[in-house]
Structure 1
Amino acid sequence: MNAKLNAVLFPLLVALVIFLPGNAISEEYIIAVLANRGLTVAEKEWNPTAEYLSAQVGHSFSVVPMDDTALYNSVKNGKVDFFYTNSAMYVELSKLHNARAIATLINRHKDNPLEEWGSAIIVKRESPVKTLADFRGKDFICRGLTAFGGWLMAKRSFIESGLDPEREFKSLRSTPTHDNVVYAVYNGAADGGSVRTGTLEKMAADGKIKIEDFRVIQQVQDGFPLAHSTKLYPEYPMAACSHVPDSLADAVAEALTALSPSQPAAAAAKITGWKKPADYSPVTECLIIVQHGPYAGMDLPNRESESVKMPRKGGVAKRKARE
């Protein structure tokens, strides 16, 4: 009954946030949360953070889980006050709408703190695909074409390997959640897919899949405890929208960074806590390489631009022979 009720109420709440002016639904400060594993999961994981902030900061906070489009538009139109989203969406919203990161997530895997994340390019165990090049002519699925860990990180890896995914895949489709990507690969609906680090491990821990049924293509061996195919980037930020007073943003940042792993908010979100904002310039670099959003047409401002020619109109990047 609760699940059915949530399925009805959350879309209505999101609609109210998007279409009503300012904070018309209440005087609460609204935190938009990217629901990349679904609305119900996001609600369960992040409502305790709103309760924690309400107790620590002295103002009322509420969490509203949203998909990519709803979150982006809510920030753009000033309908929310804070937001928690992937690193790439944050960088884009910071550039276009003056949002600022106030804290960076410290994730957790088996009690080990993780301050970075990446993407895993996966296939079913018995798949003939062994390398990135083997995806030519194959069906590929991702969480969303604008999702950072769900697609853009993997897209960079394909481009830098000499493969243009938009032109050389048989098909490139998206689905709303990382879990759906995993199920599509397992059920044969796609030859491969990309998911954020930790997706396979969490689904296996939840009893949803057997991790041995999958392989990670071009798996990086760098000591990071979660299987991944790509470079690693700074974890998700909590960000304040441009209209939020500095004093309030600073108070929220202070409360978040004071959160300990043993407190209910951290336990519910399955995280270690938060730290001061990370340097998100590596994310900007990735977005330039894949020519995403406001970074389309831009070149890298550092010496790496000498060895990577940026793709134009879907064209694949080329590397010099020295590599």
Structure 2
Amino acid sequence: MIDKRPYIKYIFLFIMLLLSTSLFAQKEIKIGIFAYNGVEFALNRWDKTIKTLDKAIPDYKISALYLTKFNEMTEVVKNSKIDFVLTNPTAYARLEKEYGISRISTLINTREDGGLTQFSSVFFTRADRDDINSLKDFKGKSIMGVNKEGFGGWQMAHKELLDNGIDPFKTSNVVFAPDSIKTTVVYSVLSGKADIGTVRTGNLEKLVSKGKIKKSDYKLIGLKNDGFALPHSTALYPEWPFATMPHTDLKVSNEMVKALLNIKTSDIAAIKGNYTGWTVPLDYVPIHNILMQLRAKPYEHYGEVTLASIWKEFKYAVVATFIIVSMIFIYTVYIGVLNKKLKISENNLKKSNRDLEKATLEIKNINQDLEERIGIAVQEYKIHKEAKQSSLKEMIGNIAHQWRQPLNILSINIQNMEFEYEDGIVNKAYLANFVHKNKHIINSMSKTINLFSEFLKNDKIKENFSVKNTIEEIISALATQFKDYKISLNLLGSDFEVYGSASEFKQVILNILNNSKDELAEKCVDNPTINITLNNGEITIDDNAGGIPDDVLDRVFEPYYTTKDQGKGMGMGLYIAKMILEESMESEILVSNTLEGARVLIKLNQKVNYGR
């Protein structure tokens, strides 16, 4: 008979291998990239960026899907076949409105002038056109744009002309480059085929730097003077956004943001991508506004009043109104039927009056009994509540008393040990007894503080809370300590609300105040003072402890870094405060010196949750 056990072992190992391969397989994340200049161009520009993101987020396999047409992008977004989107501003605005994608970062484009997060358009004409010097001279002239739906190649310019009271389609001859290429616009104007041209900022400068044209060949019209690095004739609009899909996990989105923001100018991803880096997402509402004003997609029917538009805009209200009217009609019919029944029953009800009066009396008696019972229950509740409050006050008093006594005992024990050491009594048995006795006292104190901590425990639930009230709670808790050190603690300024965990925020303020208190106490400052000032989303905490040495100032937020003597501090206070503010409250903390001491500045994100 053949032994089947070896075969069973091999089958088991094969199944385990398949399971392990499945368990450790990376989840795939796809980024849809709008390749308007073709896949080869986009691949050359963005491939290193994709590889950098893939390396920065090791739990996922990140790849790119290059889409040359907007309808292709629309299809994959509509069917949730990608997780992130990298596209131009107008395409983003359309996808945001129609499919709810959300921006998480904005491109810092180009590598000159420190990078640009915005761009614009510019009007230009031939240098020898003395008859064209301002926008008002455009009347009766031919104006060439790249493409009617091109944002930098026409729509910005169109809006600028409308804002200046010029409708180019009525007062001028508007034409577009037949091949939708910006260089066609430039060469058409310089050759005299068009009077005026408009292109995205930087295009003319690139052609000059490549020797394709000369700066003396053209002149710019209607330039803005707002400090922007490049000459431009229209308003500024945000650069390409990096957006997340509605179905994408928030944790993955957060990791993607961190990975993008960590890309430096010197990284190969930025060099190949011809950009400086990434920043927090800019406001893209102006993109929507310009598309609405021009009635461009997806707002081509903006402002029109049709049955279809009314239904699209108010269909839920119409359905709700229909349901309410139907319910009122049904209710009216029901009331009519009920009235007939009531009239038929009227005579029977009259005959039942005596029984009803009797029942009413019984109900009255029952109500009276119920009121008495409720009164007793309410009284019992008040007694229970007052007893609980009394127990609470007694517990707090006992905690304070229990702390004073063991602290006194510990102090006496330590003093006695010094005396008994001088008398030669201290030996191994004495030390063992000393440790055992004082360890028992410390354990008792630990139990007391654990009880108090559990009583004051707060869940770290995020909600809107008053900054001033929360700080006042901390001040109240520290009042005795600060009084013992004769430190003047002042809270100034007006209150405001923020959204976050109040208990975590208390920890931030407590850590900062304890640092200042320790410095003031150590340096024995005359008239030690701490001022806390609230001002429109900012908190300034100043002390007069003499300040922080310059060689220490840059390291105060490092974990475990402390200038205190060993055993007096772990160096985690400001580090924890910074982590809470940045990661939990999306806020910022800065430390500097004043003439009198140290200053801590907290810039809070005044985001308030309105329950949406």
TM-score category, normalised to shorter length: 0.7 to 0.9
The aligned residue for residue 203 of structure 1 is 207
Q: Which has the higher helix share?
A: 2
- The structural deviation recorded for 1:87 is 1.9
Match of 1:148 among 138, 147, 151: 151
Distance in 2, matches of 1:75 and 1:273, equals 25
Distance in 1, matches of 2:143 and 2:40, equals 26
The aligned residue for residue 168 of structure 1 is 171
Distance in 2, matches of 1:278 and 1:296, equals 25
Q: Taking structure 2 as the reference length, what is the TM-score of the superposition?
A: 0.41
> Would the aligned equivalents of 1:46 and 1:269 in 2 still touch at CA under 8 Å?
yes
Match of 1:244 among 230, 245, 248: 248
- The structural deviation recorded for 1:65 is 5.4
Q: Does 1:135 align with 2:161?
A: no
- The structural deviation recorded for 1:44 is 2.5
> Would the aligned equivalents of 2:35 and 2:41 in 1 still touch at CA under 8 Å?
no
Please give the secondary structure, in 1, of the residue aligned with 2:243: strand
Please give the secondary structure, in 1, of the residue aligned with 2:292: helix
Q: Does 1:230 align with 2:231?
A: no
> Would the aligned equivalents of 2:57 and 2:259 in 1 still touch at CA under 8 Å?
yes
> Would the aligned equivalents of 1:185 and 1:192 in 2 still touch at CA under 8 Å?
yes
Q: How many residues align?
A: 272
Please give the secondary structure, in 1, of the residue aligned with 2:272: helix
Cα 1:130–1:104 change in 2 (3 A) is: same
Distance in 1, matches of 2:187 and 2:72, equals 25
- The structural deviation recorded for 1:232 is 0.8
Please give the secondary structure, in 2, of the residue aligned with 1:274: strand
Cα 1:34–1:122 change in 2 (3 A) is: farther
75-84 or 119-128, which deviates more: 75-84
The aligned residue for residue 63 of structure 2 is 61
**Which amino acid counterpart does residue 49 of structure 1 have in structure 2?**
T
Q: Does 1:278 align with 2:270?
A: no
The aligned residue for residue 97 of structure 1 is 99
**Which amino acid counterpart does residue 29 of structure 1 have in structure 2?**
K
Please give the secondary structure, in 2, of the residue aligned with 1:60: strand
The aligned residue for residue 30 of structure 2 is 29
Q: Which has the higher contact order (CA 8 A, sep 6+)?
A: 1
**Which amino acid counterpart does residue 33 of structure 2 have in structure 1?**
A
Distance in 1, matches of 2:152 and 2:75, equals 20
The aligned residue for residue 14 of structure 1 is none
Which entry has the higher C-alpha Rg, 1 or 2? 2
- The structural deviation recorded for 1:29 is 1.5
**Which amino acid counterpart does residue 110 of structure 1 have in structure 2?**
E
Match of 2:263 among 248, 259, 262: 259
For structure 2, the 5+ residue unaligned runs are: 1-27, 304-612
- The structural deviation recorded for 1:133 is 2.9
> Would the aligned equivalents of 2:32 and 2:73 in 1 still touch at CA under 8 Å?
no
Alpha-carbon deviations, 1:106-129, whole Å to 9, x = none? Answer: 123534232221111222222342
Alpha-carbon deviations, 1:18-39, whole Å to 9, x = none? Answer: xxxxxxxxx662431343x565
**Which amino acid counterpart does residue 293 of structure 1 have in structure 2?**
K
> Would the aligned equivalents of 2:153 and 2:198 in 1 still touch at CA under 8 Å?
yes
Distance in 2, matches of 1:75 and 1:143, equals 27
Q: Does 1:82 align with 2:84?
A: yes
Q: Does 1:193 align with 2:197?
A: yes
> Would the aligned equivalents of 1:256 and 1:274 in 2 still touch at CA under 8 Å?
yes
The aligned residue for residue 161 of structure 2 is 158
Alpha-carbon deviations, 1:271-293, whole Å to 9, x = none? Answer: 11001111222222322332322
Alpha-carbon deviations, 1:12-63, whole Å to 9, x = none? Answer: xxxxxxxxxxxxxxx662431343x565543332222122222222323225
The aligned residue for residue 48 of structure 1 is 48
**Which amino acid counterpart does residue 31 of structure 1 have in structure 2?**
G
Please give the secondary structure, in 2, of the residue aligned with 1:114: coil
Please give the secondary structure, in 1, of the residue aligned with 2:107: strand
For structure 1, the 5+ residue unaligned runs are: 1-26, 300-323
Please give the secondary structure, in 2, of the residue aligned with 1:224: coil
**Which amino acid counterpart does residue 233 of structure 1 have in structure 2?**
Y
- The structural deviation recorded for 1:169 is 2.6
- The structural deviation recorded for 1:147 is 2.0
How large is the RMSD of aligned CA atoms in angstroms?
A: 2.6
Cα 1:284–1:207 change in 2 (3 A) is: same
**Which amino acid counterpart does residue 123 of structure 1 have in structure 2?**
T
Distance in 2, matches of 1:78 and 1:275, equals 26
